[in-house]
Amino acid sequence: MDLVIGKHCSVVECNVRDLLPIECSCQKFFCRNHISLEKHRCPGKPGVSPEGQTTTWSKRASCGMADCNKLTLASAFDGSGSSLSNLNDGICLECKGAFCATHRHPSSHACISANNLPPVSKSADAKAILAKNFPTISKPTGTRAPITSGKLPTDPVKLARFRAVELMKMRHKAVPGDGRDKTTSVPIEERLHVTAVADRANPSRTQVLWFRKVSIILSWL
């Protein structure tokens, strides 16, 4: 018995066998290039269901990647139980974001699980002490442009993911601000990460440092 994998696209002109076919609410399967209502001339146009009953249809949302304008894997549906049961929305099981066929895999959208994000310190005292003792950095080891130099995503989900990625980059670039920590291993959850400006005349010259969240305050008081 032969193993049947995937399905042929229902568009006659296409008929390609797709290993990850998507079922539309018109009960037909399509490849990723013809899943949109307009591409396969779906009979379920807004306001009319495949059975001819008046209903309200919902269009798919855009991919969760900041620079991607493709639609998510979720097929348009009419809200009925049958369509919802077969809905393939492309939701990532790690970060819970919705993505297109290209970015559905965690490795393709820089997936960061909410459970793995490092805690963000909100200690105003620690920041004040840091500003007092490290007003400038005389010899920065690297430069980078501020993350606000580009256009930030307006979508809340994309913006949150963008900031999470920037936080991860900041953590990897950080160097110990206290020389005593260069030879020690400090867990990531016990570190306070900051970006210090090396030259106020040139804000793009920055240095990413990390300090112990607790000992930094106790040692300077």
pLDDT of residue 32: 85
> How many other CB atoms sit within 10 Å of the CB of residue 168?
15
Query: Which contacts of 87-96 are long-range, i.e. CB under 8 A and separated by 24 or more positions?
Result: 88/22, 88/23, 92/64, 95/161
pLDDT (0 to 100) of residue 122? 54
Specify the pTM. Answer: 0.28
Report the residue count for the chain: 221
Q: What is the pLDDT of residues 79-116, one digit of tens each?
A: 444 544 445 556 777 777 877 878 878 888 777 764 55
The closest alpha carbon to 214, from 116, 105, 129, belongs to 129
pLDDT of residue 53: 52
Contact 126, 133 (CB under 8 A): no
- In the chain, % of residues over pLDDT 90: 1
C-beta separation of 64 from 99 below 8 A: yes
Question: What is the reported pLDDT for 76?
Answer: 44
Q: Give the mean model confidence (pLDDT) for residues 6-19.
A: 89
Greater model confidence, 120 or 70 = 70
pLDDT tens profile 167-208: 788 777 788 877 777 766 778 777 877 887 766 777 667 788
Distance of CA 133 to the CA centre of its chain: 36
Longest CA–CA separation in the chain, Å: 76
The 10s digit of each residue's pLDDT in 152-169 is 778 888 888 888 888 788
pLDDT, greater one: 147 or 134: 134
The strand order across the sheet containing 175-176 reads 175-176, 206-212, 191-197
Share of the chain above pLDDT 70, in %: 60
| Mean pLDDT of all residues belonging to the chain | 70
